[in-house]
Amino acid sequence: MRKQTIEFSSPLDALLAITKRLSVLEQQHHMDSEEFFYRYSQGKMPDDAEFVEWANDYRH
């Protein structure tokens, strides 16, 4: 997996981008981010790259 650096013009733009990514993941997996993060933190979700990124986005 290649690491990608994204620069935003403002903190608000960064927050909006994270919110959009969280929303897409929630729709794809039929689970809100809070429930996902709880399960992930309990070790009940796999450590797939997508889930690691979702957890990182949720932390932000």
DSSP state of 46: -
- DSSP letters spanning 10-36: SHHHHHHHHHHHHHHHHHHHTS-HHHH
Domain extents for the chain?
32-60
pLDDT single digits (tens) 3-60: 677 788 899 999 999 999 999 999 999 999 999 999 999 999 999 999 999 999 999 8
Residue with tokens 């790259």: 49
Neighbours of 60 (CB within 10 A): 9
Q: Which helix (H) or strand (E) holds 39?
A: helix 33-41
- Global pTM exceeds 0.85: no
